[in-house]
Homo-oligomer: A and B are copies of this chain.
Amino acid sequence: MTKQRPTILITNDDGITAPGIKVLIELMQELGNIVVVAPDSPQSGMGHAVTIAKPLRLDKVDIYEGVEMYQCSGTPVDCVKLAVNKVLHKKPDLLVSGINHGFNSSINVIYSGTMSAAMEGAIEGIPSVGFSLGDFKQDANFEATRPFVTEVAKQILDNGLPSGTLLNVNFPPGQEIKGLKVCRQAIAKWEEEFDERLDPNGRRYFWLTGKFVLNDKGEDTDEYALNEGYASIVPVHFDFTSYNAIPTLKNWNFSV
């Protein structure tokens, strides 16, 4: 008797037509039965947004031959919720999100739709992973990432993941990846600048831009591994409690 092929849910935040998700589709077909539910338009920077004040559309589409695919009008998190509840009617064995065009290492995990989809999967008890490549371009070259994506997916299918944990996997751009390193999230932030312009009607508008500032000299971080040419794996959880801060706060004397 052969083991049943796993069901693998694929999503992303760059939209269902992005080159990055095509790579995941090709690789995951080798490992299991795949279903794709992804946004009908780019959703980068959507964080853990959910659509609660308006209706959602979910339409079957026929993009790659023989692949069951649905596009959704909502956010990456909406896609996961709809996929589980209205398409699969069960939890898949694995959720893979990406491959994102652009890094989701360090503080980017917070803004990332790719990672929020994976986090939503983990909240629902699905072994989940987000993959990102440090190249924003539409024609980014995902070739070098392929064996690493397959390896991480296989390991999750074989070993499972610790309870309440998902993985944030980032790849350096370029032709060669030296290996995989398990890391912590580097301390960093974006220093924003806003481009200030006038629209054709003379009204002012702002466009967000910014500079990534790394405030972390640790050699155990995702940024360090990526800079050294390795792919980074950060285990992520969704308990945001700062346990270290609890004793300090308990010492406050509240007058109410």
Contacts and interface: CB of A to CB of B under 8 A. Distances in A.
A50 B179 contact: no
Contact of A237 (B193, B196, B240): B240
Given A50-B208, A240-B240, A246 B45 contact: no
A249 B182 contact: yes
A47 B77 contact: yes
Interface in A11-32: none
Contact of A50 (B47, B189, B254): B47
A37 to B, nearest CB: 12
Interface stretch (A61-69, A90-98, A109-117): A109-117
Interface in A212-237: 233-237
Contacts of A239: 184-185, 187
A237 B107 CA distance: 11
Contacts of A116: 47
A42 B49 CA distance: 13
SS class of chain A's interface: helix, strand, loop or mixed?
mixed
Contacts of A245: 161-162, 165, 235, 237
A151 interface: yes
B45 A50 contact: yes
A242 interface: yes
A124 interface: yes
B234 A241 contact: yes
Interface residues of A, number: 81
A60 to B, nearest CB: 11
Contact of A45 (B51, B167, B196, B233): B51
Q: Which of A52, A84, A246, A249 has the most CB of B within 10 A?
A: A249
A46 B78 CA distance: 12
Contacts of A167: 249
Given A237-B242, A239-B185, A55 B197 contact: yes
A107 B236 CA distance: 15
A87 to B, nearest CB: 11
Interface in A146-178: 147-148, 151, 155, 159, 161-162, 164-165, 167
Contacts of A241: 184-185, 234-237
A85 interface: yes
Interface string A183-216: 0110101001110110100011111100000000
Interface string A96-138: 0000000000010111000010010001100000000000000
